[in-house]
A and B are shown apart, each in its own frame.
Chain A
Amino acid sequence: MADLRTNFAGIKSPNPFWLASGPPTNTYGQVAKAFDQGWGGAVWKTIGEPIINVFSRYGSVDLGQNRMMGFNNIELITDRPIAENLKEIAEVKRNYPKHAVIASLMVESKREAWHTIVKQTEDTGADGIELNFGCPHGMSERGMGSAVGQVPDYTCQIVEWVKEVATIPVIVKLTPNVTDITYIARAAVKGGADALSLINTINSIVGIDLTTFEPQPSVAGKSSHGGYCGPAVKPIALHLVSAVAGDPSVKIPISGIGGIATWRDAAEFIALGAGTLQVCTAVMHYGFRIVEDLIDGLSNWMDERGHRSLADIRGRALPRVTKWEELDLNYHLLAHIDQDKCIKCELCWTACEDGAHQAIRRLPRDNGGPVVEIIEEACVGCNLCAAVCPVKECITMRPVKNDYAPVSWKNYAAGKGKLAPRSEAFHTATWSSSSKK
């Protein structure tokens, strides 16, 4: 069986699956239960001067009948006293010495305040500290959370203060609500951060009640922008993880966060450079029990693919993330329809016709044969037809061989390399030929 043990910036855990800081890590009881069920680590719900929460806190974005494809919250940090949280952290650590217990912290941007909380945290025996510089709602209005994480200088300054006293690893949690996350990541590194975690939640309004015009989640008729998370944000998180992991000036470990719900999600984050994975929304949806398949699925996949440890797969996809200008312009694809699999819904036709390059021709339904066929000279290999096709592997994208060497835009624009010939039809409107019934 694959070795899932993790050493993340010196923090050890039996597997890379950590609970992200949030409602599931609010109490001793929750974290202990999660560890019993197999979670490798937990980042405690952010500790600071206790706040008072509003009652309505979460909003869901459903996709059709799939609940919580996207999810947001306007909940603040813990509403429990600092001492109580620290006591429970110590208790968890005592009872689960092999699991990773991380304290998430957020206090006023004052050196003394940070020194105090860091020292108190170290006394619990916690394995590490995560600085919450990402929370985009509520706390940011008070100069904390993303108000810190959006300004490189503030980020660097507070990390420095923390590192003045911290002896355990310090993870800086980054907000995605910035123009370029790598600037913040570099500032954290400059301040002395031992690791990064990303992404925190994304500014959002999840919806409007069309009867009352109240934004959701509504608090007595009004709402505030909240932090967006859940499966919907995974692509954004993958991109930002790759951007930070691929930045040569950021050489510290990264904990991946953002819409992780399955082992496949986890494997993708690891392939883009994540050392551990943090999960929150999926647990809020389905409970701690999901860790069983996170571990089992990842482990089985690794065994099947011959990957013996997480190090074997970490960052494996990173070299394949490049700038657009590096992509090969002579790599040509052609859509291919497996007529035996086609169920004749014509979704590919309507998508290509209205939404792409008019490269599919309709044939009469009543002749009993195929109802769609690719117009090869017009197909630009865009993948849209394959994306809309409801039958798996009915439409596949097949490389078209040519005798031309690969050429990137960078080289081509510099006068180096030759473009393989392209069909005239790529550049001319063809609706009249393909849309006539």
Chain B
Amino acid sequence: MADPTGVLSDEQLAANFADIAPPLTNDAALLEADKCLFCHDAPCTIACPTHIDVPAFIKKIASGNLRGSARVILDANPFGHSCARACPVEVLCEGACVLNDRDEQPIKIALLQRHATDYVLDRKLKLFEPGTRTRKRVAIVGAGPAGLACARDLRRRGHDVTVFEAKAQPGGLNTYGIAEYKLKADVALAEVQDILDLGVELKTGVSVDSIETLLTKYDAVFVGIGLGSTKRLGIPGEDLPGVVDALTFIEHLKTHPYRETAVGRHVVVIGAGNTAIDAVTQAKRLGATTATIVYRRGEHDMPCYHYEYELAKRDGCGFRFNAAPQRVLGNGAVAGLEVRTTGGTETIPCDMVIVAIGQGARTELTLPKDHPNVFTGGDCANGGAEIVNAAAEGVAAAKRIHERLSHG
């Protein structure tokens, strides 16, 4: 593989990874907030998995009540900060905005949400308090959005919460896996800290290997361990140096200075989901001369969101459809990817291959079947979805756990 980044200056790298949707100025936020119609039974709220009362928080921005606005958001969604940056709003709240039906742009709900939540994050305002102590103890496995959303709402209900996290830092994919130009680790960690400050006990670097053992010490267990590692291609050459899986590539990028993440001059990304888009755009932004999605099926079969596809095209990424990877070529280093196309076998020259064909389920932890005190949520339960789904499931689980602990 070619030399790491190399070609771009630090300034260019910083610009390439700056927020893709910069925050609104105060004036712009007021202007935007005033456009909201304040719908009753609003479609945006219905579309949000956490059902944030969107018109309510926007009207509070318009009235200059930013603290109250942030509380509406964060009350419904403990991950309101990261969702404001990384939510696929085009297919959720903003896609449901009634202004779309008036042939107008929808309200910029994500940016308004960021405006309100940044206000409290920047000022370190504490909006929530732990509930009266119940002395019930809940263990949470996995400090991703699902587990921590659950943790926060359990603390607000007064339960003792201990979170076990295998990685060094909490936050799950928010810290390690969201495209850098959408959400940076420092914001993800500050958001997590807000939750921990409610009195959540966090144990990082701890792998839980038995739910049954936890059940002997805790009244309930919530499991939000996400998905396992990226699936293997199952083709020759995939262990060559220069073949990396997308999550490892992105995690390295997010936990090191940009210059330290190795990228090829000609990068091929295998897969066409949203993670593949994150990988190909970030490879391009790191300085790859070409970054190309190689997908075995057609353009309209791509599982990524349409606007993510558009983003990758704007970034100058290439796309090869109906090209099924057969073999990674190279001797000690990647030299190309052999693909089968409708026209026969073909070689795409490249010096780096990023694999983004989805993650498998985790197999290292067995859950007791139908145990009344074991709850799950997030990617490990839904098969892989958005932060907002994980948050919604964590919040819902906290409610069920609370009911169980209160009346069970």
A345-B40, A346-B39, A346-B41 known; A65+B34 contact, CB < 8 A: yes
B102: Cβ under 8 A from any A Cβ: yes
Q: Give the distance to chain A from B43, nearest Cβ to Cβ, in Å.
A: 7
Question: A10 on the interface (CB 8 Å rule)?
Answer: no
Q: Is the CB of A390 within 8 A of B30?
A: no
**B213 CB, nearest partner CB in chain A, Å:** 45
Contact with B along A366-408 (1 / 0, CB 8 A): 0000000000000000000000001100000000000000000
* A64-B62, A343-B98, A390-B102 given; A365·B37 CB < 8 A: no
User: Is B122 an interface position by the 8 A CB rule?
Assistant: no
A343–B40 CB distance below 8 A: no
A344 within 8 A of B: yes
* Chain B stretch 16-40: residues in CB contact (< 8 A) with chain A: 27, 30-31, 34, 37-40
Within 8 A of A (CB), among B60-90: 62
- Asked whether any CB of chain A lies closer than 8 Å to the CB of B46, the reply is yes
Compute how far the CA of A87 lies from the CA of B290 in the bound complex, rounded to whole angstroms. 77
A343 in contact with B46 given A65-B30, A365-B41, A390-B37 (CB within 8 Å): no
A390 CB contacts on chain B under 8 angstroms: 37, 102
Closest residue of B by beta carbon distance from A392? B102
**CB within 8 Å for A391 and B102 given contacts A345-B37, A347-B37, A347-B40:** yes
Find the A residue at minimum CB distance from B39: A345
Find out whether the CB atom of A65 lies under 8 angstroms from the CB atom of B31: yes
A347 to B59, CA, bound (A): 15
Asked if A349 CB lies within 8 Å of chain B CBs, one says yes
Q: Is B209 an interface residue (CB 8 A)?
A: no
Instruction: Say yes or no: is A177 at the interface (Cβ < 8 Å to chain B).
Output: no
Say whether B39 contacts A64, CB under 8 Å: no
The answer to whether the Cβ of B240 comes within 8 Å of any Cβ in the partner chain is no
Chain B residues with CB under 8 A of A347:
37-40
Partner of A344 from the list B31, B34, B62, B101 (CB cut-off 8 Å) is B101
Kindly supply a per-residue 1/0 record for chain B positions 128-165, scoring 1 wherever the CB is within 8 Å of any chain A CB and 0 otherwise. Answer: 00000000000000000000000000000000000000
Complex alpha-carbon distance, A65 and B38, angstroms: 16
| A64 to B35 Cα, complex, angstroms | 9
Which residues of chain A are within 8 angstroms of B2 by Cβ–Cβ distance?
A: none
Q: For A344, A350, A362, which residue has the most chain B Cβ atoms within 10 angstroms? A: A344
Check if B99 is an interface residue, CB within 8 A of chain A: yes
Q: Within the assembled complex, what's the spacing in Å between the Cα atoms of A350 and B41?
A: 10
Residues A343 and B102 in contact in the complex (CB < 8 Å), given A64-B62, A65-B30: yes
Q: How many contacting A-B pairs (Cβ < 8 A)?
A: 36
Is B30 a contact of A343 with CB atoms below 8 Å? no
Residues of B contacting A349 in the complex (Cβ-Cβ under 8 angstroms): 40
CA distance in complex: A346, B101 (Å): 13
Q: What's the least CB distance linking A396 to chain B, in Å?
A: 17
Max chain A Cβ within 10 angstroms of own Cβ: one of B30, B46, B102: B102
- Which of chain B's residues have a CB closer than 8 A to the CB of A65? 27, 30-31, 34
Q: How far is the CB of A362 from chain B (nearest CB, A)?
A: 8
Minimum C-beta distance from B76 to chain A (A): 19
Contacts of B34 in A (CB 8 A): 64-65
A343:B99 contact, CB within 8 angstroms: yes
Q: Mark B109-135, 1 if CB is under 8 A from A, else 0.
A: 000000000000000000000000000
- Central interface residue in B27, B30, B39, by most chain A CB within 10 Å: B39
Closest Cβ of chain A to B45, distance in Å, is 11
In the complex, what's the smallest C-beta–C-beta distance from B364 to chain A, in angstroms?
Answer: 41
Q: Please give me the residue from chain A that is nearest to B34 by CB atom.
A: A64
- CB of B283 to closest CB in A, whole Å: 41
Scoring B31, B37, B46, B99 by chain A CB atoms within 10 A of each residue's CB, the highest score goes to B37
Write the nearest CB–CB distance from A314 to chain B, whole angstroms.
38
A345 and B98: CB pair below 8 A?
yes
Nearest chain B CB to A416 CB, angstrom units: 44
Q: How far is the CA of A64 from the CA of B38 in the complex (A)?
A: 14
CA distance A346 to B27 in the complex (A): 28
Distance (Å) between the CB of B51 and the closest chain A CB? 14
Residues of B within 8 A of A346 (CB): 39-41
User: Would A344 and B30 count as touching, CB distance under 8 A?
Assistant: no
User: Which residues on A sit within 8 Å (CB–CB) of B39?
Assistant: 344-347
Which residues of chain B are near A343, meaning CB under 8 Å? 98-99, 101-102
Interface of chain A residues 58 through 73 with chain B (CB within 8 A): 64-65
Cβ contact of A350, chosen from B40, B62, B99, cutoff 8 A: B40
Give the distance to chain A from B318, nearest Cβ to Cβ, in Å.
39
Of the candidates A343, A345, A347, A362, the one having the most CB atoms from chain B within 10 angstroms of its own CB is A345
Neighbouring B residues of A344 by C-beta, 8 Å: 39, 43, 98, 101
Q: Tell me the nearest residue of chain B to A64, going by C-beta.
A: B34
Contacts of A365 in B (CB 8 A): 41, 43, 46
Q: Which residue of A lies closest to B98 (CB)?
A: A343
Nearest residue (CB) in A for B30 is A65
Complex CA gap A390/B107 in Å reads 14
Residue of B whose beta carbon sits closest to that of A437: B41
A343 to B27, CA, bound (A): 27
Q: How far is the CA of A391 from the CA of B34 in the complex (A)?
A: 16
Q: How far is the CA of A345 from the CA of B41 in the complex (A)?
A: 8
Complex interface: chain A residues within 8 A of B102 (CB): 343, 390-391
Question: B62 — which chain A residues lie within 8 A by C-beta?
Answer: 64
A253 to B40, CA, bound (A): 49
Nearest neighbor of B103 in chain A, beta-carbon distance = A343
Chain A residues, CB < 8 A from B27: 65
Least CB distance, A226 to chain B, in whole angstroms: 24
15 contacts between A and B (CB under 8 A): A64-B34, A65-B30, A65-B31, A344-B39, A344-B43, A344-B98, A344-B101, A345-B37, A345-B42, A345-B98, A347-B37, A347-B40, A365-B41, A365-B43, A391-B102
A-B pairs, top 3 by smallest CB distance, nearest first, are A346-B40, A64-B34, A343-B101
Which residues on B are within 8 Å of A, measured CB to CB?
27, 30-31, 34, 37-43, 46, 62, 98-99, 101-102
Question: Interface on A for B, CB 8 Å cutoff?
Answer: 64-65, 343-347, 349-350, 362, 365, 390-391
Query: With A65-B31, A345-B37, A347-B37 given, can you name 20 additional A-B contacts, CB distance below 8 Å?
Result: A64-B30, A64-B34, A64-B62, A65-B30, A65-B34, A343-B101, A343-B102, A344-B39, A344-B43, A344-B98, A344-B101, A345-B42, A346-B39, A346-B40, A346-B41, A347-B38, A349-B40, A390-B37, A390-B102, A391-B102
